[in-house]
Structure 1
Amino acid sequence: MKALLSSKPVLWFLFLFNLVVAVAAPFAVHGTQGVMTAVGMGVVSLGAGSALLRGRPARRVTG
Structure 2
Amino acid sequence: MKALLSSRPVLWFLFLFNLTVALAAPLIDDSAQGIATSLGMAVVSVGAGLGLLKGRK
The two structures have a TM-score, normalised by structure 1, of 0.85
Any stretches of 5+ residues in structure 2 without a counterpart? Answer: none
Confirm whether residue 44 of structure 1 aligns to residue 44 of structure 2: yes
Find runs of 4+ consecutive structure 1 residues off by over 2 angstroms: none
Shift in Å, 1:49: 0.2
Once the two structures are superposed, residues 18-62 of structure 1 have per-residue CA deviations (whole angstroms, 9 ceiling, x without a partner) of: 0000000001112100100000000000000000001268xxxxx
Instruction: Calculate the TM-score normalised by the size of structure 2.
Output: 0.94
Q: Provide the aligned length of Structure 1 versus Structure 2.
A: 57
1:1-63 equivalent positions in 2, closer than 5 A: 1-55=1-55
Unaligned regions of 5+ residues in structure 1, if any?
58-63
Normalized per residue, the structure richer in helix is 2
Letter in 2 for 1:34: G
